[in-house]
Amino acid sequence: MKRIAIFFTVLILLFSGCNDPVFYFISTQVPVPPPIIGGAPTDFVRIGDTLYVASNTTLYYYEEISKYGEKSAREGWKGISLPYGRITYIAENSSTLYLLTQIEGLSRIYSSTSSPPVFSTLISNPDNLWLLSMYSAGSDIFIGARTRDDNEIYSVLRINGGSLSPVSLNAGETNISKGFLRGVAHNGSTYFFCIKDAVDDPPNRGGIFQGSNSSANIISSYGYPFLGIISNGGRVYAVQNNYSSNRAARLFSVTNSELLESTVTLSMPSNGALFVSSAFNDSSKKLLLVGRQDILEYNTNTGFTYGYMEIELTSTGALATDAYFREPGITAPSTLPVGTGHNDRFKTTLGKYPVRYFYEAPNTGKTLFASSQNYGIWSLKDRDQNGSPYWNTEN
């Protein structure tokens, strides 16, 4: 017995004095309960005081947005199971909620103007088209589509009343027949369409197109597919992956008839998720959040490089002087408190999963929500009321 006691005593002493990063990483692991909204949820849509998100065949809604962050509102999620198949996208325009669904090899669009929603309107679409994506911009809803035959011709459509109207994208000598819609931005006067080539091998035929809700001309293809686009304060940003440089993401600012590559780049690829959030520890600044993609190299602590990166913006939406991409919780301003353990907790929770979409509630605490790939809805809020928000699953 003495030998056994001595053996375990030595083990305890070894582990307690060990600074090995592997053991430190284990010590920072955070138990994560299953999310109440699981799977790979859609983007978020807000209509009035109600927030909507969908996962698989269920539409979820959360009323009284002004109470987000308070414990009294944590039971606010309600689900409606719908018979329309898998819900792949949701969008909103003029208080109308739209669903893009897939069922039995067909894609369909449903709409509702009531709260809670009752879907009775089916927007007709040509039988030869497969509807792939849906985005809201300005006062319009746009659809990315392709033909259902072997030719796989891609197109952009706009919801026009009860039908779909084509948007003419003029690429000059650049062929975009293989490109599909990955986002639309509106800066108050102009529409910008983000097109990604369906073929990942360069040369690609994607690009950013500028124009109206019915026609647009290409600004520049830049040789690689664009993955996401966003407008904030009249400024438009787009992101693409540079396949000639370890697929490192490149950030572009989009102005009228000009596409400018930023001097800052992301050292790893992006999945196209873009969002502008409040800087929680500096009210005069904003943060551009960019979803990042795993490249299976990080450090001795972890092999995951998902989650998102932050880059600082001024109050007007421009890139701040000497701005650079960094992980949350390392340098101020940040979505997370800057200090011991905050970045580690990010890496061991949301940092392990690809982020598809973000949403920031307009409440006092500016609760930030994230839709993850295959691991449901997360929220950045203070669950213990200790003044330090962390990423948690919505449960």
Residues 117-159 pLDDT 10s = 999 888 877 778 899 999 999 999 999 998 887 677 888 999 9
CB 57 within 8 A of CB 87: yes
Amino acid at residue number 367? T
Residue 28 lies in a domain: no
**pLDDT, average across residues 58-80:** 70
Residue 220 lies in a domain: yes
**Is pLDDT above 60 for 72?**
no
Domain that holds residue 316: 267-395
Total domains in the fold of the chain: 3
Residues 161 and 259 in one domain: yes
Q: Which of 176, 182, 321 lies closest to 240, judged by CA?
A: 182
Residues 275 and 385 in one domain: yes
Residues 274 and 381 in one domain: yes
Prior bond to 31 cis, omega within 30? no
Residue 252 lies in a domain: yes
Residues 111 and 184 in one domain: no
Q: Which of 53, 104, 62 lies closest to 83, judged by CA?
A: 104
Residue 305 lies in a domain: yes
The domain spanning residue 237 has which CATH number?
2.120.10.30
Residues 379 and 347 in one domain: yes
Determine the Cα–Cα distance for residues 342 and 329; give it in Å rounded to an integer.
Answer: 5
Residue 51 lies in a domain: yes
Residue 222 lies in a domain: yes
Residues 136 and 238 in one domain: yes
Residues 80 and 90 in one domain: yes
Residue 87 lies in a domain: yes
**pLDDT, average across residues 240-266:** 82
Residues 260 and 162 in one domain: yes
Q: Which of 316, 311, 315 lies closest to 335, judged by CA?
A: 311
Surface-to-core class of residue 332, CB atoms within 10 Å of its CB (0-12 exposed, 13-18 middle, 19+ buried): middle
Residues 100 and 177 in one domain: no
Residues 319 and 373 in one domain: yes
CA distances from 389 to 40, 142, 278, 345 (A): 23, 35, 14, 11
More confident residue, 321 or 296: 321
Residues 279 and 337 in one domain: yes
pLDDT (tens digit per residue) in 185-244? 999 999 999 998 765 555 556 789 999 999 998 887 666 778 999 999 889 999 988 876
Residues 285 and 197 in one domain: no
Residue 3 lies in a domain: no
Q: Which of 213, 245, 265 is the last residue of a domain?
A: 265
Determine the Cα–Cα distance for residues 28 and 344; give it in Å rounded to an integer.
Answer: 7
